Structure 1
Amino acid sequence: MSASRITFYSNPQSRAAVIHWMLEELGEPYDTVYLNYQGAMKTPEYLAINPMGKVPAIMHDGQVVTEGAAICAFLADQYPQKNLAPAIDSPSRGAYYRWLFFAAGPLEEAITMKSLGMPIPADKSAMLGFGTLERTVDVLEQAVSSTTWICGEQFTAADVYVGSAIRFYMQFGALEPRPAFKAYVDRITQRPAYQRSAKIMEQAMAKSQQ
């Protein structure tokens, strides 16, 4: 077996779960390094990889990539034969980037402000990238309602990121469990790669608590 080209830095209680799933969809060998929050993530060695002192991060052939959406997009491009991104000349390529960064930008910002109990005066909504939470959620609902996957009939890395966000936000009550969201999450959680990643996270969590 050839040596792994990917080293993945993770913690079982973190957003790194998104990348566990992405790596399982990719189907390439990878090495996982689990880091705790106050110890290993704050060492000079790891801060040289991610100065933010957070996970997820990956090292791929010497290249460091952080931020979940960026990691998903990077890995999909590094392994085009896996069909986890529309072709560059595909009509779906624009939607692919659109929804990846919609979830990483406007959606996360809107949900975070709601979770922190930060009210937005009606006359100030234009100052925010997402405008209003209601509009953001309505747009997301429309995006997952019209086709099987976020870019059409092809499952992509955008589904990994968007699907993870929707599932997580609904699980913790930050996002209204609308029927379209529940149906979309049902589709993603039936994928064998998702189920493998969930098992990996469960095992890592159990080991960290021993």
Structure 2
Amino acid sequence: MKLYNNAQSRGMTLFPLLKELEIEDQIEQIHILYEKMHQAEYLKVNPMGKVPCLVDKGIVISEVAAIFTYLADKYMEKGLAPALDDPKRGAYLKWLFFCHGPLTEYMDLKGLGVSDEQIEQRKRSLTFGHEESVLAFLKNGMQQANPYLLGEKISAADLYLAYWLVFAISFKILPYLDEFKPFIQLIGSRDSMKDVPWFQKINA
């Protein structure tokens, strides 16, 4: 497998997953500079000109949530993805794609300095609606976590959500609410998260 990535991309969220799956040595890491992403050679791999992008035996998987889902399913014996017939599969997918859709859209708009007034005016066309909806969804999920999103076992969805929560809190896009703290501290205590700078920053 080949993983096209760079240190300034959302693909950094994948590293804890690779560690949890114990497949770091099975993936060739290809660092690609931003200015080379839109050149013909890389566009043959991913016409979007974006990273990360995983290539496995000729299969090209772009989009972070898709790569999370693909790898967790490929190595299902590691226990990071519910089986296809597991009732928890629906909630698992919900969290993965909430992170990839509404949460990151919200973070991007806030990071670009889009005003609350503008967001309110366009809320019907936004996947997250408005800030109150995002916070309510997150708080509800954190309150129901026992201790992980799906219960007693950690999943790839926990790793993905925790990374983005801590990133958003570190850059003051989201508040560090009391409801978030037990979940963040739990995930942050795992060896796979030890080198993630956002966790070190928030716990400093």
Given the two structures, how large is their TM-score scaled by the length of structure 2? 0.86
C-alpha distance 124-47 of structure 1, shift in aligned 2 (>3 A): closer
Paired AA for residue 148 in structure 2: W
Separation in 1, partners of 2:64, 2:121: 32
Pick from 90, 95, 100 the counterpart of residue 96 of structure 2: 100
More relative contact order in 1 or in 2 (CA 8 Å, sep 6+)?
1
Q: Which amino acid aligns with 1:32?
A: Q
CA distance in 2, matches of 1:19, 1:61: 19
1:33 deviation in Å? 0.9
**What is the CA-CA distance between 1:124 and the residue it aligns to?**
4.5
Structure 1 partner of 2:172: 173
Which shifted more, 118-127 or 95-104?
118-127
Aligned partner of 1:31 among 28, 31, 47? 28
CA distance in 2, matches of 1:109, 1:163: 16
Q: Percent identity?
A: 36
Structure 1 segments, 4+ long, off by >3 Å, are 120-124
Secondary structure of 2:101 counterpart: helix
- Secondary structure of 2:9's partner? coil
For 1:123-160, what per-residue CA distance to the aligned partner results, in whole angstroms no more than 9, with x for missing partners?
Answer: 65333322211111121121122221122222111112
Normalised by the length of structure 1, the TM-score is: 0.84
Paired amino acid for 2:50: K
Aligned to 2:142: 144
CA distance in 2, matches of 1:51, 1:31: 20
What does the per-residue CA deviation read over 1:66-105, in whole Å, with 9 as the maximum and x for residues that have no partner?
1111100011111111111112222211100111111111
Cα 1:122–1:172, aligned 2, differ >3 Å: closer, same or farther?
A: closer
Aligned twin of 2:201: none
The answer to whether residue 69 in structure 2 is matched with residue 73 in structure 1 is: yes
Q: 1:121/1:101 Cα in 2 relative to 1: closer, same or farther (>3 Å)?
A: closer
Say if 1:9 and 1:32, in contact at 8 Å, map to a contact too: yes
| Equivalent-residue separation in structure 1 for 2:185 and 2:46 (angstroms) | 33
Q: Where do 5+ consecutive residues of structure 2 fail to align?
A: 198-204
SS of the counterpart of 2:148?
A: coil
Give SS of 1:59's match: strand
Query: Aligned residues, how many?
Result: 192
Q: What 5-or-longer segments of structure 1 have no aligned partner?
A: 1-5, 200-210
The equivalent residue for 2:47 is: 51
